[in-house]
Amino acid sequence: MTWHPGDEALAAYAEGTLSTSQAWSVEAHVAECAECRATATGRVDTGRLEAIWDSTVDEIDAPRRRVIERVMVALGVPDHLARLLGATPSLTVPWLAAVVLVLGFGLAMAWSSAGEPFVDAREALLPFLLVAPLVPVAGVAAAFSRVLDPAYEIAAASPLHSFRLLLIRTVAVVATSMVPALVMALLLPHAGLLALAWILPALALAGAALVAGTFLPPIVAGASLGLAWVMGVLGVEIGPRALVAFGWTTQLLAAVVLAVSAAVMLQRRDLFEIGRRP
Amino acid sequence: MDHSDAELLAAISEGDRTALRLLYERHAGWLVVRLGRRCGDPDVVNEAVQDTFLAVWRKPRAYRGEGDPAAWLWGIALRRLLDRVRRRSRWESVAEWVHPGAVASAEDEVLIGVEHGDLGAALDRLSPELRAVVQAMVLDGLTVRETASLLGVPAGTVKTRMMRARKQLRKGLAT
């Protein structure tokens, strides 16, 4: 390059004191000329440049947001909440994949035995209906376990009202577990209303697990309730009438359990304020 | 200053942070100046420069080895600036987005410029609002919509300002 604006013009350009036409022509040159770029760069406050560099490095070292977190932020969820929810073990993609896989087995079994002779079509639904209510309860247990929850420390120190945080996380976990379950339930063969028979038991189990989690470690609470559910259903299903465990009695019972759990949680909400978490 | 920008970018794609630092030292300064002429808020400019080098660090292979890496960096920086400005409130006053120095001296420049008939003087005589539009659309090649979000004014205003600027420049050249 033969023509250069000269140090004075470059300095004035960097300081923003050139007239528009001069600044534009200097800028057009600076865009092309490494030498003059260096001169102009030398005129910029080094403190400012170091500050930008530091924040850039901070950003590089910060853990990258999970996809789910970015989706939440895009949907208008506040930053800190998105991070907490994003760190919930039962809100990760592997978790959802596991849910889909497990329920997929139930669905596959329902379909594979649906066409066979001598098999009650309703009986074929049992594996799915048995497993589906376990999904939210497992999610809740994992979300509030100290062992599995990478955000335990953050949540414990969170400026949010802990009870509110608990509700937010629970709703998020239950909702994300139940949506795939619901979609797959609708794919069950010849199910009719039975396709929805797992929903109330699922909510009841999750609610009961939250309550039990205030006495027991969440994993223990969740596992015992899940076990109790499986044993109960299988115990009833030994009888001659298929899917009797998913009749109106169970639904009613589940509704009662859900209501009682909600009431107990409200009663015990203060418990979450003194540092103990379920 | 031994390594070329392209070599530095290749090193960055291997995860070499020293290379990023060298690239930063070479380019952050003029990017700050050039972005600063498009946005009066230094915080937004800082964020845009940070975003630029973050993008370089994460996707150094986006540079395909064609053309000047500096021009490639400028392209990223300008987009990041637009992003950052969009994220800020749209309702901030226009004056803030125009270069602060330019605002103060605009009227003097109009008076001084009257005696000259060349393009430079015609440019200098434009009001800061019109100048900002010409800079964004002609120099930076932004669309009307992008210019509107950069300057924080409606797209219709950008169009009318561009028309007014053209008219003024034409008149300035004719005298």
For tokens 């309730």, the residue is A225
The model's confidence at residue B150, banded by pLDDT at 50, 70 and 90, is: confident
Report percent pLDDT > 70 for chain B. Answer: 79
**B163-175 pLDDT, tens per residue?**
999 888 888 776 5
Best B33, B57, B108 residue to mutate vs chain A (most A CBs within 10 Å):
B33
pLDDT at B65 over 90: no
Mark out chain B residues that contact chain A at CB-CB < 8 A.
Answer: 1, 17, 21, 24-30, 32-34, 36-37, 42, 46, 49-50, 53-54, 57, 68, 70-71, 74, 99-102, 109, 119-121, 123-124, 126, 131, 135, 139
Is any Cβ of chain B less than 8 angstroms from the Cβ of A55? yes
The predicted pLDDT at position B73 comes to 92
The predicted pLDDT at position A160 comes to 53
Q: What distance in Å separates residue A276's CA from the closest CA in chain B?
A: 39
Residues 6+ positions from A39 with CB-CB distance below 8 Å: A7, A10, A11
- Global pTM reads 0.53
Best A15, A56, A65, A79 residue to mutate vs chain B (most B CBs within 10 Å):
A56
Number of residue pairs across A and B with CB atoms under 8 Å? 97
**A128, A107 in Cβ contact below 8 A?**
yes
The predicted pLDDT at position B21 comes to 93
Instruction: Report CB contact under 8 Å: B53, A55.
Output: no
Average pLDDT over residues B124-133: 86
Which residue stretches of chain A have pLDDT < 70?
Answer: 1-2, 63-68, 76, 84, 86-92, 114-122, 145-162, 239-242, 271-278
Residues 6+ positions from B112 with CB-CB distance below 8 Å: B124
Let me know the angle formed at the C-alpha of A144 by A253 and A158, rounded to the nearest 5 degrees.
125
The predicted pLDDT at position A146 comes to 61
pLDDT at B92 over 50: no
The predicted pLDDT at position B55 comes to 92
**B132, B95 in Cβ contact below 8 A?**
no
Select the residue of A14, A19, A59 nearest B33 (Cβ to Cβ).
A14
Locate the domains of chain A by residue range: 7-61, 67-272
Cα separation of B61 and A89, whole Å? 33
The predicted pLDDT at position A141 comes to 78
From residue B166, alpha-carbon distances to B46, B118, B171 in Å are 32, 14, 9
Which residues from B are below 8 Å from A32, CB to CB? Answer: 68
> What does the DSSP 8-state code read for residue A271?
G
Instruction: Report CB contact under 8 Å: B28, A53.
Output: yes
Average pLDDT over residues B80-107: 56
For tokens 């062992």, the residue is A147
Cα separation of B105 and B112, whole Å? 11
The predicted pLDDT at position A89 comes to 64
Enter the ipTM: 0.73
Residue type, A108: A
**A169-219 pLDDT, tens per residue?**
788 888 878 888 888 888 887 777 777 888 888 889 888 888 887 777 778
Cα separation of B114 and A153, whole Å? 67
> Could you say which residues from 172 to 231 on chain A have a Cβ atom under 8 Å away from some Cβ of chain B?
none
Instruction: Report CB contact under 8 Å: B123, A20.
Output: yes
pLDDT at B127 over 80: yes
**A67-92 pLDDT, tens per residue?**
667 777 777 677 777 776 766 666 66
Average pLDDT over residues B145-149: 89
Cα separation of A42 and A52, whole Å? 16
Average pLDDT over residues B45-54: 93
Q: What is the DSSP string of A135-186?
A: HHHHHHHHHT-TTT-TTHHHHHT-SS-HHHHHHHHHHHHHHHHHHHHHHHHT
Which among A242, A254, A122 is positioned nearest to A192, based on CA atoms?
Answer: A122
